[in-house]
Amino acid sequence: MALLPILVYPDPRLHTVAKPVAAVDDRIRALVKDMLETMYDANGIGLAATQVDVHERLIVIDTSEERDEPMVLINPELTWASEEVQVGDEGCLSVPGIYDGVERSSAIRVQALDEHGQSREIAAEGLLAVCIQHEMDHLRGKVFVEYLSPLKRNRIKTKMLKARRETTERV
């Protein structure tokens, strides 16, 4: 297993629309392991392949307290979303240190394949529902800051670019 570099906003590759996974094979299973290791190492609860510069429809999630219930969603499709919404502070491994309110459906159902290629339907609510919707946005090339006002988005972009410059200067 290996830690993968996580793309940081405003990297243009984060806006790439992911293609469907053609086959759930050893390459995909190895990617799943690497993505889980990367997510856990970064203290995240979700990671989309897009965030590690692999533009295929693959998500890993673990919202458990013990961090021992990984979930793999390959080629996820939203099949239902509640009309009831909730606004919660979201953060993102690709936008480190930034949290802001985003409106999401409070309950959803998703159809996806697992790491063995088995089809499954997941009914989710609360944090898991928010996390799945957030990660599925990444597969569509959308970062959560795009739900914010243009002013907030520009401030975040400036802050991320400044942090990147400072990191580069130190190296």
The predicted-structure confidence for 25-69, as pLDDT tens digits, reads as follows 999 999 999 999 999 999 999 999 999 999 999 999 999 999 999
**103, 135, 146, 169: which is the annotated catalytic residue?**
135
Low-confidence ranges of the chain (pLDDT < 70): 171
- Helix intervals (H) in 51-149: 126-139
Dist. CA 160–CA 92, nearest whole Å: 13
15 annotated as a binding-site residue: no
135 catalytic? Reply is yes
55 annotated as a binding-site residue: no
pLDDT of residue 171: 65
Q: Give me the chain's average pLDDT, please.
A: 96
pTM attached to this predicted model: 0.95
Domains of the chain in start order, with CATH, are 12-169 (3.90.45.10)
Exposure letters 52-80 (e unless 16+ CB within 10 A, then b)? bebbbbbbbbbbeeeeeebbbbbbbeeee
- Number of CB atoms found within 10 A of residue 139's CB: 24
User: Contact at 8 Å (CB) between 114 and 72?
Assistant: yes
